[in-house]
Chain A
Amino acid sequence: MSLTNTTTDWRAGIERRLTRTREFLDETDPEALTVVTVSMGSLLAAFLGFLLASPWAAVPFGAFLTATGYGWARHQALIARAVTLAMTTVTLVTLGLIVVFIFAESIPAFRYETASAFGISVPGLGMFAQPRWDAVSEPVRYSLLPMIHGTVMVTTIATLVAAPLGVAAALFIAEIAPPTVRELVKPGIEVLAGIPSIVYGFIGFTVINPWASGAFDLNGGSTYLFVGIVVGLMALPTVVSVAEDALTSVPDVMKHGSLALGATDWQSMTSITLPAAFSGVSAAVLLGVGRAIGETMAATVMLAGIPRISEPLVNVFYGYETLTSLIARGYGSANGVHESALFAAGVVLFVTVLCLSIGSQYIEARMRRRLGGAE
């Protein structure tokens, strides 16, 4: 019953859309239609040509520019609509291209690291089932486990730094600070987001690493501990700004109601604002975790660059390698399966962070629904 219903709905939807398209075609000036078709067709041809790496892609691109220019002069409204639509698809196309190209480049490494489990050979299993990464001496193996361990260590420490500090700072900006102080603190934290990661890395390399080496009598100065703290500092602004958005989106009536009942500010925050904004705040922490996972330069510059798992597992006084620093350090000198293995590391990173991003978007959407569409 419901199945037939959905089918009819679906069919009706298509019919409605067809009718609308037909009406649109009938109403529009045929010349304008031609121009738009030529413009969009040549853009598509140029894109396909570029994909095939053909130097002839320049020809349809020129045709696109000409047709669009002509259309802009004669039929601006229609051509503007078509061009903006094309621009909108660019984000989708970019994401698609990233997926296709990174996955395609990583296939040889996944093939190379095929291992069998329960009698079935699974490509890529060898990257996660044994801990050896060595691209030079036999046996050449490309396990990502050491780098995943490093990324987990750095991200954990970074989250321990960024999450409590970030949420506290967001509470301060959204709830506690008087307006003049807020106008000072908010841009200040934005500026913190702007300090380039290589500058953090440079300070880490020239100041923190030598200091840590002496202060803890280490073998070399690279430690997951201080890389994690630095990366946490870099993820902090993301947490602050997203959590602050979530906190300010809680309707004022809720807070005022609580204050009118005689609750202190802190009671209102912990029993009204924070629970109401909880999903938004956790989305902020998730995004911060994503930033920390993807942070590259500070880790590359501060870590030792040896793909090895520290012993004992939780030893924060070693600093070997993370997924990001592996790519940044190895790319360029690598080729063949080695280069492909770097792409595999990129795939792991990309998929993890994309999942975090989609998860946090889902949480945020749920929160917006629960607060009744309040922005």
Chain B
Amino acid sequence: MSRATRTALVRDDRTAYEAAAGAAVGISGIVFVVGLATLLGVVGIDDPVAGLELSVLFGVVLLALGVTVVGFGMASRLGYVDAAPQPSAGIVAAAAFTGIWFAVGAAVSGAAGIGTAGRLAVGAVLGGSAFAVTAFPREDVGSTVPVGAVAGLCGLSLVVGVIGPGWEQALVGYNATLFGDTVVPVVVLFTSLVTGWSAAKAYGGFGARGRNVGAYVLIYLVVGSILTVLVGLVAFVTVRGLPGLFGGFSVGGASLVSWPFLTNGAGLTADVAGVFPALLGTVWLVIGAVLFAVPTGVGAAVFLSEYAEQGRFTGAVEVATNGLWSTPSIVFGLFGAAFLIPRFGNQKSLIAGMLTLGFMLLPLVLITSREAILAVPDEYRDASAALGVSKWKTIRSVVLPAAIPGIATGVILGVGRIAGETAPILLTMGGGVLPGKSAAPDVLGGFQLSGSPPFVSNPALLEATSALPYQLYALITAGLSGNIENPQEFAWGLALTLLLVVLVFYAVGIATRYYFRRKLHQ
């Protein structure tokens, strides 16, 4: 009788075991979250919980988890439960545990004051035995015993207090000291990850299914942490920035809404310092970059996808576009400084910033527009051609309208990206740290005609102008101080404003995409 049929059909006796394994996964998850909270300083590792110090409690729980995990493995190995373990835990797990135990050996012997050669030797011995224990026995032993050993060691050292509150270890030559406050949470986080993975494998009955569950637990955890970081970042900036952003905000009165942070400059006359000049600078910057990059990018995309034959020229343009896309922003800044500034009055200016950001926006627009145009079905073009419509008319009245949603999405997301760029405008546009309201650029009213070349000029475009990201940088380099009431609050308000401007672009771009996609599928 083959093992596969036995495990697939007889599942009743595994319910208690599965429940225990599920509980172990859950407890590991809880330990992970609490460990994260201690790392972030929400709880202290010496806080008393149920009569014990938190770090000791951590140790007890980890020890118990380690014993349980080994118990799962043994129960499966001795045949008390039906599982489908494979002959070996696999080379990936073996390599991982070799690495872990090598590090443990090296760290522990290092703390015991053994020299480099000794540390390497201890690490190698421990790593080698971990490899043997993981790779050679059957999977249920190989993926539980090394885990149990890790959890047991960490748990014991926490219970006994080898590592704990007040523990410290100077890293000689590294100019740093490790404290219990940071090491304990890190150890706890790591150990709970390992026990969680092992318990999840046991829950799946080892074998292919066990590996599936184990891997999924880790992947869900990764995605969960990424999203937590994202939400945490935005929430953090929002909470810190709201007081600055809404300082002096009022509804009603002479003007319907009074929002001094967005409508004031930072001069002495303003009672609430605001970011108006930088906000207007960012707006003009975006407009200028869009005016340059969008027609150029869309035109190039039309030519590449409708007119050009696939060949060396299109290949070169593609390589150049992708190359420009990945060129670091600071290199664009250097380019703008070397190429544009000497040609626009030899000083940092709004128009140099606009064009530099335009150069950065160009590949983004080109790539997304090209994708959007290529996504228009060929039937559209054929139908139009069959009606006797010329090629250009087909492009203008059939292809481009159908591609507009994709192009618009790409442009909006690209604008969101360049609106927050600091490095290029740092080198090309400059501006003051805390500009007064009079420093806001007056582009529309600035155009002048003159009798000498270039006949049209606009001083507003040729002046150094501030923008939101640049002003934030300038504030940081000025040490978050300045001639205003509360520079810290001001800077956080500025950061929130910048974040909101960028996120609004992203939200609009993503919403556009969903709207048109749903319309397409109707």
Q: Which residues of A contact B (CB under 8 A)?
A: 50, 53-59, 76-77, 80-81, 83-92, 94-95, 97-98, 101-102, 104-105, 164-165, 168-169, 171-172, 176-177, 185, 187-199, 201-203, 205-206, 215-219, 233, 236, 263-267, 287, 290-291, 293-297, 300-301, 311-312, 315, 317-318, 324, 327-328, 331-332, 342-343, 346, 349-350, 353-354, 356-358, 361
- Return chain B residues, CB-CB under 8 Å to A86: 299
CB-based nearest B residue for A82? B303
Q: What per-residue 1/0 map shows which CB atoms of B165-185 lie under 8 Å from chain A?
A: 000000101111111011000
A55-B452, A198-B472 as given contacts; A87 in contact with B334, CB under 8 Å: no
- Return chain B residues, CB-CB under 8 Å to A185: 223, 227
Separation of A89 and B362 alpha carbons in the complex (Å): 12
Separation of A317 and B177 alpha carbons in the complex (Å): 10
Can you name 10 A-B residue pairings with CB atoms under 8 Å?
Answer: A81-B307, A86-B299, A89-B317, A91-B317, A101-B339, A104-B338, A185-B223, A191-B510, A198-B469, A206-B491
Find out whether the CB atom of B473 lies under 8 angstroms from the CB atom of A101. Answer: no
- Return chain A residues, CB-CB under 8 Å to B426: 328, 331
Most buried by B among A84, A91, A264: A91
* Interface flag for B209 (CB, 8 Å): yes
Find out whether the CB atom of B453 lies under 8 angstroms from the CB atom of A58. Answer: yes
Find out whether the CB atom of A169 lies under 8 angstroms from the CB atom of B175. Answer: no
Option from A83, A168, A300 in Cβ contact (under 8 Å) with B219 = A168
- Return chain A residues, CB-CB under 8 Å to B323: 95, 354, 357-358
Find out whether the CB atom of B423 lies under 8 angstroms from the CB atom of A324. Answer: yes
A91-B317, A169-B223, A198-B420 as given contacts; A218 in contact with B328, CB under 8 Å: no
CB-based nearest B residue for A327? B330
**A42 smallest CB distance to B (angstroms):** 15
In the A-B complex, the 6 residue pairs with the closest CB atoms: A294-B328, A196-B420, A58-B454, A87-B299, A77-B392, A84-B303
**B293 smallest CB distance to A (angstroms):** 9
Separation of A83 and B302 alpha carbons in the complex (Å): 11
**B208 smallest CB distance to A (angstroms):** 5
CB-based nearest A residue for B8? A262
- Return chain A residues, CB-CB under 8 Å to B419: 196
Option from B325, B338, B342, B343 in Cβ contact (under 8 Å) with A343 = B338
Find out whether the CB atom of B227 lies under 8 angstroms from the CB atom of A95. Answer: no
Question: Number of B interface residues, CB 8 Å?
Answer: 106
The interface-forming segment of B53-61, B151-159, B500-508 is B500-508
Separation of A55 and B395 alpha carbons in the complex (Å): 37
Separation of A309 and B413 alpha carbons in the complex (Å): 39
* Interface flag for B402 (CB, 8 Å): no
Separation of A164 and B327 alpha carbons in the complex (Å): 24
- Return chain B residues, CB-CB under 8 Å to A164: 222
Option from A97, A105, A293 in Cβ contact (under 8 Å) with B328 = A293
Option from A171, A301, A324 in Cβ contact (under 8 Å) with B473 = A301
Find out whether the CB atom of B326 lies under 8 angstroms from the CB atom of A353. Answer: yes
Find out whether the CB atom of A188 lies under 8 angstroms from the CB atom of B327. Answer: no
* Interface flag for B422 (CB, 8 Å): yes
- Return chain A residues, CB-CB under 8 Å to B297: 87
- Return chain B residues, CB-CB under 8 Å to A188: 227, 230
Find out whether the CB atom of A215 lies under 8 angstroms from the CB atom of B392. Answer: no
* Interface flag for B7 (CB, 8 Å): no
Find out whether the CB atom of A296 lies under 8 angstroms from the CB atom of B329. Answer: yes
* Interface flag for B108 (CB, 8 Å): no
Q: What per-residue 1/0 map shows which CB atoms of B456-499 lie under 8 Å from chain A?
A: 10000000000001001100110010000000100100010011
A88-B308, A172-B223, A176-B219 as given contacts; A55 in contact with B417, CB under 8 Å: no
* Interface flag for B399 (CB, 8 Å): no
Find out whether the CB atom of A199 lies under 8 angstroms from the CB atom of B325. Answer: no
Option from B223, B322, B396 in Cβ contact (under 8 Å) with A168 = B223
Find out whether the CB atom of A196 lies under 8 angstroms from the CB atom of B328. Answer: no
- Return chain B residues, CB-CB under 8 Å to A295: 328
- Return chain A residues, CB-CB under 8 Å to B325: 357
- Return chain B residues, CB-CB under 8 Å to A194: 413, 416-417, 420, 502-503, 505-506
CB-based nearest A residue for B418? A196
A55-B453, A81-B303, A216-B176 as given contacts; A346 in contact with B216, CB under 8 Å: no
Find out whether the CB atom of B510 lies under 8 angstroms from the CB atom of A296. Answer: no
**B394 smallest CB distance to A (angstroms):** 10
Find out whether the CB atom of B331 lies under 8 angstroms from the CB atom of A349. Answer: yes
**A266 smallest CB distance to B (angstroms):** 4
* Interface flag for B189 (CB, 8 Å): no
